[in-house]
Amino acid sequence: MSSASNQSNIGQENRHACVVGMGWGDEGKGKIVDLLAGGFDVVVRFNGGANAGHTVRIGDDSFALHLLPSGVLRDKAISVIGPGVVVDPIALIEEIEGLEARGIDLAGRLLVSDRAHLVMPYHKLEDRLRDSGTQGKKIGTTAKGIGPCYAEKMLRSSAFRMIDLVHLDRHTDRLKAVCERKAAVLEAMGADDAGINTIAINYDEINSTLEIAERKLSKYVAETTSCLEDAVAKGQQVLFESANGMLLDIDHGTFPYVTASHTGLNGVPAGAGVSPHLVRRCVGVTKAYATRVGNGPFPSELLDERGDRIREVGREFGTTTGRPRRCGWLDAVTLRQTKLLGGVTEIAMMHMDTLSGMAEVGICTGYSLRGEAIRSMPADSEDFAAVDPHIEMLPGWKDDVSGVTKFESLPAEARNYVTQVEELVGAPITMVSVGPERNQTIHRT
């Protein structure tokens, strides 16, 4: 991957692919990326930051990844953190060292874009303060500093990137000025009243954190766009791994209850630094039901014992924040919209086993707003929260399906459920997951 190459990949098979979430995150993308990564040479993260949480189970071991691509667990794949990711350097060091402690060494296998922006300690405090309920709508963020870091990127003059870690001495005066201003702004915004201590927002403290980060991370910093160009030219296959979910997309999600990046295939060219024509296969991941963490509309939410049951059986508690997830029926309206917007060519349906034993399972097939049927998600979050979901109930399946390996061996009701969803959404379901292990996956080709 590192050697310069001017070969063309014209005529070589293009199997580059992207894995995206079709909901509000936590769809199970980590398992799908891990499964597919064996067939790819390079796995690339292109959006978000440590707000993501991918749990991958291998045998008795469970790995929670936040910033690193799930491909790191495949020892042959190169992992890339692209320019569109916002990197909390301390969180990245902790993740790398956590893997090293379990015998997984990333030396020579991880590249972090020199253009990726740094999540600074003051971004995390600002995130908490902005989301404390005193500054406008409470989004329910992960408090990982994602929104403030992307906002800083747009402001430009006060932003810091991975390349700045490598040349820290060139940024002394700027860092001093930014730290002073940030402490004053956070105080003026009412940090004290919100119980947020800004004492650590000073140049000495932040500079010494960045010096540690420079020592530990500079060996991974690279100009990743030309590395990816070389890989493609050599005929290597690249898998792009989205963080969060398409309903959390900054432009197309349930604004303002969204994250601050482009979470679908739309984010790949800019966030990874590759041609928009590169990827033809896009695997959209959804659960057999829907979940959401944080605030915002969720028309098919179940606020009864069926929602509680799904949460318990599906272990629906956040990987990043530990928060209980809101649970509801699968929503074919949002899935259809994210399929079209996201260029999804096939679907992986996760957690089929979680629904086993329910007498009936529901699918949201449409909405009406103030008595009128509507075709798509309203832009206004209050309207969206007020829609009436049309829920179609289908017969459930009694048997435990967690050991099923062939689609034909699923109970008829489960097969019917899968084909109904395919028809409503308009894309083939090529993988059905029936448990957390790699081998608990039904492949339909």
Contacts to ligand IMP by CB under 6 A: 24-26, 51-53, 139-142, 144, 146-147, 243-244, 248, 257, 259-260, 293-294
**N-term to C-term CA, the chain:** 31
Contacts of 209 (CB under 8 A, 6+ apart): 89, 90, 121
Beta strands in 59-128 (DSSP E): 61-65, 78-81, 86-87, 110-113, 117-118
By beta carbon distance, the residue nearest ligand IMP is 294
Nearer to ligand IMP, 290 or 434 (CB): 290
SS3 147: helix
- C-alpha separations of 215 from 68, 90, 93, 285, 307 in Å: 19, 12, 10, 37, 47
- How many CA atoms, within 13 angstroms, populate the side-chain half-sphere of residue 306? 16
Please report how close the Cβ of residue 150 comes to ligand IMP at its closest, in angstroms: 9
Please report how close the Cβ of residue 318 comes to ligand IMP at its closest, in angstroms: 7
Q: Which two tokens stand for residue 119?
A: 């999540």
**Which sequence positions are flagged as catalytic?**
26, 54
Please report how close the Cβ of residue 394 comes to ligand IMP at its closest, in angstroms: 27
Nearer to ligand IMP, 19 or 78 (CB): 19
Residue 271's nearest CA partner among 149, 154, 113 is 113
Beta strands in 97-169 (DSSP E): 110-113, 117-118
Please report how close the Cβ of residue 443 comes to ligand IMP at its closest, in angstroms: 25
Nearer to ligand IMP, 24 or 40 (CB): 24
Nearer to ligand IMP, 12 or 319 (CB): 319
Q: Residue 60 is inside which H or E element, if any? A: none
Residue 148's nearest CA partner among 163, 128, 164 is 128
Nearer to ligand IMP, 283 or 424 (CB): 283
Please report how close the Cβ of residue 249 comes to ligand IMP at its closest, in angstroms: 10
